[in-house]
Amino acid sequence: MEAGYNFPNNGDSLHLAENFKAAWNQNHLHLIIMPTEKCNFRCVYCYEDFKIGKMKPAVLAGVKNLLRTRVPTIKSLEINWFGGEPTVALDTVLEVMETAKSVCREHNVYLRAGMTTNGFLLTADAYRALVDHYVVDYQISLDGPAEFHDTTRLQANGKGSFEQIMANLDAIYRLPIEAGEILLRLHLTRKNEYVLNDFAQWLEIRYGQDKRFRFTLQPVENLGGDADLSELVLENQERGWGENSHPVPSDEETSGMERKHDESYVCYAAKANSFVLRADGRVGKCTVALNNDYNTIGELKPDGSLSLDKAKTARWFRGWSTQNQADLACPAASVFL
């Protein structure tokens, strides 16, 4: 078995029991790594504070040493790059992936990686370099056409970002690469709800022939930032391709490019084989509640060992004993209360 793109895939839906197997399988390791918590964007609804900069050498050494010690004991490794904006620290991403690639190849371990990125710095060259290092899955957010996107997904200098992101996506589309997925996360807001369906159809015409490209609909949420989002956040009953979407897509018009939400979704934070490695070496479970002490379950040491607080770690698994789907979809409620 060689490291490569043919990672065992779950399809779109897993039952609870199968989710359990995936979540507690210690032959698998899932790392969400934040190479920097700085960002080149200032999206109006962002919940992060950008206080922690690029990963220091001791933390970087810890990540690489963790891979060297743990990979020989597992069968599959999944790495997701998050931030901040991971492409701002592309050199760190590639350095870690070089180690992951090497050690996975040596021990016949499946390797697959992805990245949540704003897409602004994801040029064709950067994408090609990342794919060469097994970073094949991408999630890129779009807030609708330029006139909407450029009012909410702003660069740090206040300028819009739509044109550059689309230029990058066009260039990636033209590359002769078939691996992985480029998931366009379409943010639904009060302002763009009337145009988002047309925008999705426009994207399908543009990229629908390429199996890498898919999209998912996601309402903008208030995730804890300081901004007043009342003009953007929709009420629960207004979300989705519902009556507020104009024109309303019929069943026949439902796009094969759309990835639907999984009703049995289990958050990575509820999984026993999933960790968030922050740029400052803290180990967490959730990528949203970054300032909550319950979410700091330990520390990554330079030698690659993890110093984990057993009691704090175990709180994230309560959903498995209650078997409450809500606790598994978002364990934060049972952890923080």
Partner 1 sequence: MSDDFAKVFSNLNLKDVRVDSMGNIRITNPDIAKQIADMKGAFDADALADSSNFGTCNNTACMAPAMDQLAQRR
Footprint of partner 1 on 218-247 (CB under 8 A): 218-219, 221-224, 239
Q: What is the DSSP string of 176-233?
A: S---SEEEEEEEE-TTTTTTHHHHHHHHHHHHTTSTTEEEEEEE----S-SS--TTTP
State the binding string over 164-203 for partner 1 (x if CB under 8 A, else -).
-----------------x-x-x------------------
Taking the complex as a whole, the smallest distance from the CB of residue 139 to partner 1 amounts, in Å, to 5
Q: Whole-number minimum distance, CB 330 to partner 1, in Å?
A: 4
Q: Which is nearer to partner 1, 52 or 276 (CB)?
A: 276
With contact defined as beta carbons under 8 Å apart, do 216 and 203 qualify? Answer: no
Among 35, 84, 114, 119, binds partner 1 (CB under 8 A): 114
Size of the site for partner 1 (CB under 8 A): 87
- In whole angstroms, the minimum distance from the beta carbon of 332 to partner 1 comes to 4
Name the minimum Å distance from CB 84 to partner 1.
Answer: 11
Does residue 70 belong to the site contacting partner 1 (CB under 8 A)? yes
Q: Which stretch binds partner 1 (CB under 8 A): 62-70, 126-134, 160-168, 191-199?
A: 62-70
The residues, ordered by sequence, that sit 6+ positions from 331 with a Cβ below 8 Å of its Cβ are: 267, 269, 270, 285, 286, 315, 316, 317, 318, 319
Q: Whats the size of the chain, residue-wise?
A: 337
Please state, in angstroms and rounded to a whole number, the distance separating the CA atoms of residues 154 and 131.
27
- Sorted by sequence, the CB contacts under 8 Å of residue 85 that are 6+ apart come out as 36, 38, 39, 40, 41, 117, 118, 120, 121
Which phi and psi (to 5°) does residue 29 adopt? -130, 130
> What is the distance between the alpha carbons of residues 131 and 156, in angstroms, rounded to a whole number?
27
- Of 35-43, 147-155, 195-203, 318-326, the segment contacting partner 1 by CB under 8 A is 318-326
User: According to the binding rule CB under 8 A, does residue 289 interact with partner 1?
Assistant: yes
Q: Is 123 an interacting residue with respect to partner 1 (CB under 8 A)? A: no
User: CB of residue 96 vs partner 1: minimum separation in angstroms?
Assistant: 15
Token pair of 248 as six digits: 């309303």
* Residue number, 22 or 247, with CB nearest to partner 1: 22
Give the residue, chosen from 76, 87, 92, 197, that forms a contact with partner 1 under the rule CB under 8 A.
Answer: 76
Cβ-Cβ contacts under 8 Å for 164 (sequence gap 6 or more): 120
- As given in the structure block, the two tokens for residue 80 are 């997701």
Single out the residue of 164, 166, 318, 324 in contact with partner 1 (rule: CB under 8 A): 318
- Residue 251's Cα: distance from chain center in Å? 29
- Does position 262 interact with partner 1 (CB under 8 A)? The reply is yes
Give the closest residue to 300 by CA, choosing from 109, 116, 31: 31
**Local structure of 310: helix, strand or coil:** helix
**Strand partners of residue 139:** 116, 183
Among 118, 139, 197, 245, indicate the residue that binds partner 1 (CB under 8 A).
139
Task: State which of residues 123, 151, 216, 324 lies at the interface with partner 1 (CB under 8 A).
Answer: 216
| One of 238, 280, 315, 324 touching partner 1 (CB under 8 A) | 315
Q: Please, are residues 194 and 169 in contact by the beta-carbon 8 Å criterion? A: no
The yes or no reply on residue 255 touching partner 1 (CB under 8 A) is no
Does residue 97 touch partner 1 according to CB under 8 A? no
**Site membership for partner 1, residue 275 (CB under 8 A):** yes
Spatial separation of the C-alpha atoms in residues 156 and 1, rounded to whole Å: 44
The least CB distance from residue 237 to partner 1, in Å, is 12
Q: Which listed range, 56-64, 147-155, 158-166, 304-312, lies at the site for partner 1 (CB under 8 A)?
A: 304-312
Site for partner 1 in 12-51 (CB under 8 A): 14-18, 20-22, 24-30, 32, 47
